[in-house]
Amino acid sequence: MFEAKDAANEPEFKQLSRQTNTNHGTSDPITQDTDADIGGFIEDEDRDFAWGDVGVLGWLCTLVFWVLAFVLFFQFFTRYFLNDSAVWTEEIARNILIILTFFGSALALQRNAHICVQYFVSRMSRSLQGYIYWFNTLLQSLFYAGAVYLCSEVASATQFQKLMAVNVSKSVIYQCVAIAFVVMLCIQLAQAWHKLRKGSEHVGNKGDNS
């Protein structure tokens, strides 16, 4: 058993195994492992990353994320190194996380990164898939518009309430969430408009060819 294991580690054995797999139309397992280590866990978006593709929304989420990281680090430092935890850090971190969540959701909507189940829809006809897409777009748009209205109402009702840690109105948090829903609504409508124009151009080109 040990001799077979040692023989498998020899360069001649690796070369012979690679040649044998090539002759049988398969790739080398060693090469596959190397390729997996290099690019198996890298998303295509990360592999083709460019700073110019981050966008305003991406930079905003990055900024909010690092502000949250600084607040949490300050809380950790004051609690475990100074033995006197800053009182304001927990509430501020919680509210920053709320803002980051909703603007991050808008960023995910812009990049089509939200989790969805497409198993049944992908097995329908193309025309039925189109109807489902527009119905889904309508529901999402109505949801975003309703969320903007509700957040605005809550922000108006809490404008005279202050946060416990700092002298800031609670309405600021709900206003930020409302802005995030406005961004989602604009992104959803822009994507629908782009798809509508693309479909109309396709129909026009098809008519020209005929």
pLDDT on residue 205: 56
* Number of domains, the chain: 1
Residue 44 lies in a domain: no
* Band (185; pLDDT cuts 50, 70, 90): very high
* Residue 202 or 118, more confident: 118
Tens of pLDDT along 124-149? 999 999 999 999 999 999 999 999 99
What's the whole-number average pLDDT of the chain?
Answer: 80
Residue 43 lies in a domain: no
Over residues 94-102, the mean pLDDT reads 96
Residue 195 lies in a domain: yes
Residue 87 lies in a domain: yes
Contact 90, 72 (CB under 8 A): no
Contact 184, 151 (CB under 8 A): no
pLDDT on residue 16: 46
Tens of pLDDT along 1-54? 444 444 445 555 445 444 544 444 444 444 444 343 433 444 555 667 777 788
Residue 65 lies in a domain: yes
Q: Quick one: tokens of 180?
A: 């995030």
Residue 58 lies in a domain: yes
pTM of the model as a whole: 0.71
* Residue 115 or 7, more confident: 115
8-state DSSP, 28: -
* Band (206; pLDDT cuts 50, 70, 90): low
Residue 184 lies in a domain: yes
* CA angle 58–59–64, rounded 5-degree value: 100
For every residue of the chain, which 3-state class applies, written as one string? CHHHHHHHCCHHHHHHHHHHHHHCCCCCHHHHHHHHHHHCCCCHHHHCCCHHHCHHHHHHHHHHHHHHHHHHHHHHHHHHCCCCCCCHHHHHHHHHHHHHHHHHHHHHHHCCCCCCCCCCHHHCCHHHHHHHHHHHHHHHHHHHHHHHHHHHHHHHHCCCCECCCCCCECHHHHHHHHHHHHHHHHHHHHHHHHHHHHHHHHHHHHHHHC
Residue 138 lies in a domain: yes
Domain, as residue range, for 122: 49-203
pLDDT on residue 28: 45
* CA angle 111–131–206, rounded 5-degree value: 85
